[in-house]
Amino acid sequence: RGNISKIFGELLMLVESDKRDEEITLTYTDEPFCVPENLYIIGMMNTADRSLAIIDYALRRRFCFVELEPAFETDSFKEHLLSQGASEELVNRIILKIGKLNSEIEKDVNLGKGFKIGHSYFCKYENTNNWYEEIIKYEIAPLIEEYWFDDQEKANRYIEELLR
């Protein structure tokens, strides 16, 4: 974690497509340096993490941005859980309940779509009686309580609905 512009520094200019394979002398070290045409830089960030600063425009215009959404509604999510032994009833419960919660999170002006619950919480199915409830109680509930720290009643309602 850090200031991305400072971390990239002089590299910002060299990652541009028209500057690839072009050697320059670095300002601070006086060493020759170039970025090869076949080097790809892939970065990831969680937009819900408030410790991350907004990416500055100099950096933003040099990269494309792809937004990833939770995959609860996809056939592959459902098939993945079913292949691990989860019942169709449980899979549909997860999709329905987390889908409703994510809809509420997205509509909340203090949160938004970057705060939606991701499908990764549910990707490793364990054939136990309380697998779903444990994920809700110990992983999702604390997150919900943090999201609505100023409205504990609302947070409790959402948690209770997930456990129903």
Query: Kindly report the CA angle at 114 between 108 and 116, in degrees rounded to 5?
Result: 70
Walk along the chain (164 residues) and give the pLDDT tens digit of each residue. 677 777 777 787 788 888 889 888 888 888 898 999 999 888 777 766 655 456 677 777 778 888 889 999 999 999 999 999 999 999 999 999 999 999 999 999 999 998 999 999 999 999 998 999 999 999 999 999 999 999 999 999 999 999 99
Residue found by looking up tokens 């009833």 in the block? 89
Quote the radius of gyration of the chain (alpha carbons, Å): 22
**Can you give the length of the chain in residues?**
164
Which residue, among 45, 143, 137, 61, has the nearest Cα to 102 in the 3D structure? 143
The predicted pLDDT at position 54 comes to 61
The predicted pLDDT at position 104 comes to 97
Q: What is the pTM for the complete model shown? A: 0.75
The predicted pLDDT at position 49 comes to 62
The predicted pLDDT at position 3 comes to 73
The predicted pLDDT at position 112 comes to 92
